[in-house]
A and B are shown apart, each in its own frame.
Chain A
Amino acid sequence: MTKAERFRIFIERLKSASAVGSAQTALALITSTLNAVEDEFSGVPFAPERWQDDGRLYPPQKDFARPISEDLTEYRSVAHSTFVAANGAFEIVRRQSGEIEIAKAGLDRKRLRRHR
Protein backbone atom coordinates (compact mmCIF):
# COMPACT_ATOMS: atom_id res chain seq x y z
CA MET A 1 0.00 0.00 0.00
CA THR A 2 1.40 3.43 -0.91
CA LYS A 3 2.04 6.24 1.55
CA ALA A 4 -0.78 8.23 -0.03
CA GLU A 5 -3.24 5.35 0.45
CA ARG A 6 -2.22 4.84 4.06
CA PHE A 7 -2.51 8.57 4.70
CA ARG A 8 -6.09 8.50 3.39
CA ILE A 9 -6.93 5.63 5.77
CA PHE A 10 -5.37 7.64 8.62
CA ILE A 11 -7.49 10.68 7.76
CA GLU A 12 -10.68 8.62 7.47
CA ARG A 13 -10.05 7.00 10.83
CA LEU A 14 -9.48 10.40 12.41
CA LYS A 15 -12.74 11.65 10.94
CA SER A 16 -14.56 8.67 12.41
CA ALA A 17 -12.97 8.99 15.83
CA SER A 18 -14.80 10.64 18.71
CA ALA A 19 -13.96 14.25 19.50
CA VAL A 20 -11.56 14.87 22.36
CA GLY A 21 -11.37 17.66 24.88
CA SER A 22 -7.74 18.70 25.24
CA ALA A 23 -4.59 19.33 23.21
CA GLN A 24 -2.87 16.41 24.92
CA THR A 25 -5.58 13.91 24.03
CA ALA A 26 -5.83 15.31 20.49
CA LEU A 27 -2.12 14.70 19.95
CA ALA A 28 -2.47 11.24 21.47
CA LEU A 29 -5.38 10.48 19.10
CA ILE A 30 -3.38 11.60 16.05
CA THR A 31 -0.34 9.61 17.22
CA SER A 32 -2.14 6.38 18.04
CA THR A 33 -4.26 6.47 14.88
CA LEU A 34 -1.30 6.96 12.54
CA ASN A 35 0.89 4.42 14.34
CA ALA A 36 -1.90 1.84 14.13
CA VAL A 37 -2.31 2.40 10.38
CA GLU A 38 1.44 2.20 9.80
CA ASP A 39 1.80 -0.92 11.95
CA GLU A 40 -0.98 -2.55 9.96
CA PHE A 41 -0.06 -1.56 6.45
CA SER A 42 3.45 -0.11 6.06
CA GLY A 43 5.62 -3.15 6.82
CA VAL A 44 8.19 -0.79 8.35
CA PRO A 45 9.04 -0.92 12.06
CA PHE A 46 8.50 2.23 14.13
CA ALA A 47 11.84 4.04 14.37
CA PRO A 48 11.47 7.83 14.53
CA GLU A 49 14.98 8.25 15.97
CA ARG A 50 16.49 7.21 12.62
CA TRP A 51 15.33 10.46 11.01
CA GLN A 52 15.29 9.00 7.54
CA ASP A 53 12.79 8.33 4.84
CA ASP A 54 12.32 4.67 5.65
CA GLY A 55 8.95 4.32 3.97
CA ARG A 56 6.93 4.91 7.12
CA LEU A 57 4.80 7.91 8.09
CA TYR A 58 5.45 9.39 11.52
CA PRO A 59 3.12 11.40 13.78
CA PRO A 60 4.03 14.76 15.30
CA GLN A 61 6.27 14.57 18.33
CA LYS A 62 6.04 16.69 21.45
CA ASP A 63 9.57 18.07 21.11
CA PHE A 64 8.60 19.59 17.77
CA ALA A 65 5.70 21.64 19.13
CA ARG A 66 5.72 25.36 18.32
CA PRO A 67 3.21 27.55 20.20
CA ILE A 68 1.29 29.82 17.84
CA SER A 69 -0.81 31.41 20.55
CA GLU A 70 -1.86 30.70 24.11
CA ASP A 71 -4.16 27.87 23.07
CA LEU A 72 -2.85 26.80 19.66
CA THR A 73 0.22 24.72 18.83
CA GLU A 74 1.73 23.85 15.46
CA TYR A 75 3.66 20.70 14.58
CA ARG A 76 5.39 21.08 11.28
CA SER A 77 6.60 18.31 8.96
CA VAL A 78 7.98 18.68 5.48
CA ALA A 79 4.67 18.86 3.66
CA HIS A 80 2.07 19.41 6.39
CA SER A 81 1.33 21.48 9.43
CA THR A 82 -0.74 19.96 12.22
CA PHE A 83 -2.49 22.52 14.41
CA VAL A 84 -3.81 21.42 17.80
CA ALA A 85 -5.98 23.63 19.99
CA ALA A 86 -6.42 23.55 23.74
CA ASN A 87 -10.06 22.43 23.39
CA GLY A 88 -9.00 19.29 21.47
CA ALA A 89 -9.81 20.63 18.01
CA PHE A 90 -7.19 20.04 15.34
CA GLU A 91 -6.42 20.52 11.67
CA ILE A 92 -3.94 18.93 9.31
CA VAL A 93 -3.07 21.29 6.47
CA ARG A 94 -1.05 20.69 3.32
CA ARG A 95 1.52 23.47 3.35
CA GLN A 96 2.05 24.03 -0.38
CA SER A 97 -1.61 24.36 -1.33
CA GLY A 98 -3.19 25.27 2.00
CA GLU A 99 -5.61 22.38 1.48
CA ILE A 100 -7.15 21.23 4.74
CA GLU A 101 -6.89 17.44 4.97
CA ILE A 102 -9.01 17.32 8.11
CA ALA A 103 -10.59 19.91 10.42
CA LYS A 104 -11.93 18.24 13.54
CA ALA A 105 -13.82 20.04 16.26
CA GLY A 106 -13.10 19.57 19.93
CA LEU A 107 -15.42 18.02 22.46
CA ASP A 108 -17.13 21.43 22.78
CA ARG A 109 -17.93 21.22 19.02
CA LYS A 110 -15.78 24.24 18.31
CA ARG A 111 -13.21 24.11 15.53
CA LEU A 112 -9.88 25.82 15.89
CA ARG A 113 -9.19 29.29 14.58
CA ARG A 114 -5.93 30.01 12.84
CA HIS A 115 -4.65 33.50 12.31
CA ARG A 116 -1.63 33.44 10.02
Chain B
Amino acid sequence: MKTRTSPSVPPSVAELIQCISVVAPDAALTAEPGGVKAGNWWVEIKRGARMATVEWRPSRGFGIYGAAAESYGEGPKEIFQSVQMVGRRVVQLLSARKSGGSWLKTLRELYGLSQVQVATRLGIQQGNISKLERRSRVQLNTLINVVAIFGGSIEIRAKFPEAELPLDLSAVTQHLLPSRPRKKVVRTARKSITT
Protein backbone atom coordinates (compact mmCIF):
# COMPACT_ATOMS: atom_id res chain seq x y z
CA MET B 1 0.00 0.00 0.00
CA LYS B 2 1.26 3.43 -0.91
CA THR B 3 -0.10 6.44 0.84
CA ARG B 4 0.90 9.99 0.16
CA THR B 5 -0.82 12.49 2.38
CA SER B 6 -0.46 16.15 3.10
CA PRO B 7 0.05 17.32 6.68
CA SER B 8 -2.87 18.02 9.03
CA VAL B 9 -5.21 15.42 7.58
CA PRO B 10 -8.59 15.72 9.36
CA PRO B 11 -9.43 12.81 11.68
CA SER B 12 -12.39 11.69 9.52
CA VAL B 13 -10.21 11.50 6.43
CA ALA B 14 -7.42 9.73 8.33
CA GLU B 15 -9.99 7.24 9.63
CA LEU B 16 -11.25 6.60 6.09
CA ILE B 17 -7.72 6.00 4.82
CA GLN B 18 -7.07 3.58 7.69
CA CYS B 19 -10.39 1.79 7.08
CA ILE B 20 -9.70 1.26 3.37
CA SER B 21 -6.07 0.32 3.99
CA VAL B 22 -7.19 -2.51 6.27
CA VAL B 23 -9.84 -3.89 3.93
CA ALA B 24 -7.91 -3.32 0.70
CA PRO B 25 -4.20 -3.31 1.58
CA ASP B 26 -3.28 -3.45 -2.13
CA ALA B 27 -5.00 -0.14 -2.87
CA ALA B 28 -3.01 3.03 -3.48
CA LEU B 29 -4.43 6.04 -1.66
CA THR B 30 -3.72 9.71 -2.09
CA ALA B 31 -5.22 12.44 0.05
CA GLU B 32 -4.94 16.13 -0.65
CA PRO B 33 -6.63 19.21 0.71
CA GLY B 34 -9.23 21.15 -1.24
CA GLY B 35 -10.31 24.70 -0.47
CA VAL B 36 -8.75 26.50 2.47
CA LYS B 37 -12.06 28.03 3.59
CA ALA B 38 -14.26 25.05 2.72
CA GLY B 39 -11.89 22.65 4.46
CA ASN B 40 -12.75 19.83 2.08
CA TRP B 41 -10.36 16.98 1.28
CA TRP B 42 -9.99 14.66 -1.70
CA VAL B 43 -9.06 11.00 -1.40
CA GLU B 44 -8.24 9.02 -4.52
CA ILE B 45 -8.18 5.26 -4.28
CA LYS B 46 -6.72 3.08 -7.02
CA ARG B 47 -6.84 -0.67 -7.06
CA GLY B 48 -5.56 -2.28 -10.23
CA ALA B 49 -7.40 -0.71 -13.13
CA ARG B 50 -10.21 0.66 -10.96
CA MET B 51 -10.37 4.03 -9.28
CA ALA B 52 -12.71 5.87 -6.99
CA THR B 53 -12.64 9.44 -5.70
CA VAL B 54 -14.05 10.49 -2.36
CA GLU B 55 -14.54 14.07 -1.28
CA TRP B 56 -14.98 14.83 2.39
CA ARG B 57 -16.69 18.05 3.39
CA PRO B 58 -16.95 19.13 7.04
CA SER B 59 -20.55 18.85 8.27
CA ARG B 60 -21.62 17.28 4.93
CA GLY B 61 -19.89 13.93 5.03
CA PHE B 62 -18.31 11.86 2.27
CA GLY B 63 -19.24 12.08 -1.40
CA ILE B 64 -18.27 9.22 -3.67
CA TYR B 65 -17.73 9.96 -7.35
CA GLY B 66 -16.62 6.66 -8.91
CA ALA B 67 -14.47 6.10 -11.93
CA ALA B 68 -17.02 7.37 -14.43
CA ALA B 69 -17.09 10.91 -13.06
CA GLU B 70 -15.40 13.10 -15.61
CA SER B 71 -17.60 16.13 -15.98
CA TYR B 72 -16.48 19.59 -14.93
CA GLY B 73 -17.80 20.46 -11.48
CA GLU B 74 -20.25 17.61 -11.15
CA GLY B 75 -21.39 16.55 -7.71
CA PRO B 76 -21.01 13.12 -6.09
CA LYS B 77 -23.41 10.30 -6.91
CA GLU B 78 -23.50 8.92 -3.39
CA ILE B 79 -23.17 10.60 -0.01
CA PHE B 80 -22.38 8.92 3.31
CA GLN B 81 -22.03 10.09 6.86
CA SER B 82 -20.38 6.98 8.31
CA VAL B 83 -16.69 6.32 7.68
CA GLN B 84 -17.25 2.56 7.93
CA MET B 85 -20.00 2.64 5.33
CA VAL B 86 -18.09 4.79 2.87
CA GLY B 87 -15.09 2.51 3.31
CA ARG B 88 -17.23 -0.56 2.54
CA ARG B 89 -18.81 1.19 -0.43
CA VAL B 90 -15.45 2.16 -1.89
CA VAL B 91 -14.24 -1.42 -1.59
CA GLN B 92 -17.44 -2.61 -3.31
CA LEU B 93 -16.79 -0.22 -6.18
CA LEU B 94 -13.20 -1.32 -6.49
CA SER B 95 -13.90 -5.03 -6.22
CA ALA B 96 -13.18 -7.30 -9.13
CA ARG B 97 -16.72 -8.66 -9.35
CA LYS B 98 -18.95 -7.41 -12.11
CA SER B 99 -20.53 -4.06 -11.55
CA GLY B 100 -24.30 -3.67 -11.67
CA GLY B 101 -24.82 -6.44 -9.14
CA SER B 102 -27.88 -6.81 -6.94
CA TRP B 103 -28.88 -3.57 -5.25
CA LEU B 104 -30.21 -5.55 -2.29
CA LYS B 105 -26.93 -7.37 -1.85
CA THR B 106 -25.06 -4.07 -2.11
CA LEU B 107 -27.27 -2.52 0.54
CA ARG B 108 -27.12 -5.60 2.79
CA GLU B 109 -23.32 -5.69 2.66
CA LEU B 110 -23.10 -1.95 3.28
CA TYR B 111 -24.97 -2.47 6.54
CA GLY B 112 -22.97 -5.60 7.37
CA LEU B 113 -26.02 -7.88 7.53
CA SER B 114 -26.39 -11.52 6.53
CA GLN B 115 -29.23 -12.86 4.38
CA VAL B 116 -30.66 -14.51 7.49
CA GLN B 117 -30.72 -11.23 9.37
CA VAL B 118 -32.47 -9.40 6.52
CA ALA B 119 -34.94 -12.27 6.13
CA THR B 120 -35.76 -12.14 9.84
CA ARG B 121 -36.43 -8.40 9.69
CA LEU B 122 -38.70 -8.86 6.68
CA GLY B 123 -40.45 -11.88 8.18
CA ILE B 124 -39.61 -14.17 5.28
CA GLN B 125 -37.39 -17.18 4.59
CA GLN B 126 -33.69 -16.70 3.91
CA GLY B 127 -34.12 -18.44 0.55
CA ASN B 128 -36.41 -15.63 -0.56
CA ILE B 129 -33.67 -13.09 0.13
CA SER B 130 -31.34 -15.13 -2.02
CA LYS B 131 -33.94 -15.11 -4.82
CA LEU B 132 -34.51 -11.36 -4.45
CA GLU B 133 -30.80 -10.72 -4.73
CA ARG B 134 -30.68 -12.59 -8.02
CA ARG B 135 -33.67 -10.78 -9.54
CA SER B 136 -33.16 -8.00 -12.04
CA ARG B 137 -36.66 -6.57 -11.44
CA VAL B 138 -38.15 -5.68 -8.09
CA GLN B 139 -41.63 -4.46 -7.24
CA LEU B 140 -41.99 -1.02 -5.70
CA ASN B 141 -43.58 -2.35 -2.50
CA THR B 142 -40.67 -4.77 -2.04
CA LEU B 143 -38.23 -1.91 -2.53
CA ILE B 144 -40.07 0.19 0.05
CA ASN B 145 -40.14 -2.69 2.56
CA VAL B 146 -36.45 -3.46 2.16
CA VAL B 147 -35.30 0.15 2.39
CA ALA B 148 -37.46 0.58 5.50
CA ILE B 149 -35.72 -2.20 7.40
CA PHE B 150 -32.47 -0.28 7.00
CA GLY B 151 -34.16 2.78 8.43
CA GLY B 152 -34.53 4.47 5.07
CA SER B 153 -37.35 5.71 2.90
CA ILE B 154 -38.03 6.06 -0.79
CA GLU B 155 -38.77 9.35 -2.45
CA ILE B 156 -39.81 9.51 -6.07
CA ARG B 157 -39.97 12.84 -7.82
CA ALA B 158 -41.53 13.52 -11.19
CA LYS B 159 -39.60 16.08 -13.18
CA PHE B 160 -41.22 17.93 -16.06
CA PRO B 161 -39.88 20.80 -18.16
CA GLU B 162 -42.15 23.21 -16.28
CA ALA B 163 -42.49 21.56 -12.88
CA GLU B 164 -41.07 19.16 -10.32
CA LEU B 165 -43.12 17.44 -7.66
CA PRO B 166 -42.92 14.40 -5.38
CA LEU B 167 -45.09 11.37 -6.05
CA ASP B 168 -47.34 10.37 -3.17
CA LEU B 169 -46.44 6.81 -2.20
CA SER B 170 -49.01 6.55 0.58
CA ALA B 171 -51.35 4.67 -1.72
CA VAL B 172 -48.62 2.03 -2.05
CA THR B 173 -47.40 1.97 1.54
CA GLN B 174 -50.80 1.88 3.24
CA HIS B 175 -51.47 -1.50 1.68
CA LEU B 176 -48.17 -3.03 2.64
CA LEU B 177 -48.51 -6.04 4.89
CA PRO B 178 -45.89 -8.09 6.65
CA SER B 179 -44.79 -10.74 4.17
CA ARG B 180 -46.30 -14.17 4.76
CA PRO B 181 -45.31 -17.45 3.20
CA ARG B 182 -47.55 -18.29 0.27
CA LYS B 183 -49.94 -21.19 0.79
CA LYS B 184 -49.75 -23.97 -1.73
CA VAL B 185 -52.81 -24.05 -3.97
CA VAL B 186 -53.89 -27.47 -5.11
CA ARG B 187 -56.08 -27.38 -8.14
CA THR B 188 -58.49 -30.19 -8.76
CA ALA B 189 -60.10 -30.99 -12.07
CA ARG B 190 -63.64 -29.73 -12.44
CA LYS B 191 -66.29 -32.38 -12.91
CA SER B 192 -68.23 -31.87 -16.09
CA ILE B 193 -71.97 -31.78 -15.74
CA THR B 194 -73.92 -33.24 -18.53
CA THR B 195 -77.57 -33.28 -18.89
Contacts and interface: CB of A to CB of B under 8 A. Distances in A.
Q: Which range holds the interface residue count of chain A?
A: 20 to 34
Interface stretch (A19-27, A60-68, A105-113): A60-68
Contacts, number: 80
B75 A51 contact: yes
Contact of B69 (A61, A75, A79): A79
Interface stretch (B28-36, B99-107, B114-122, B167-175): B28-36
A63 B161 CA distance: 32
A96 B53 CA distance: 12
Main SS at interface, chain B: loop
- Shortest 8 CB-CB contacts between residues of A and residues of B: A64-B35, A58-B73, A63-B38, A3-B71, A63-B37, A79-B70, A52-B75, A78-B65
Interface core residue of A43, A54, A66, A67 (most chain B CB under 10 Å): A66
Given A4-B71, A51-B57, A57-B71, A66 B34 contact: yes
B75 A59 contact: no
Given A43-B161, A51-B60, A76 B76 contact: no
A54 B73 CA distance: 11
A20 B37 CA distance: 25
Contacts of B74: 3, 53, 56-58, 77-79
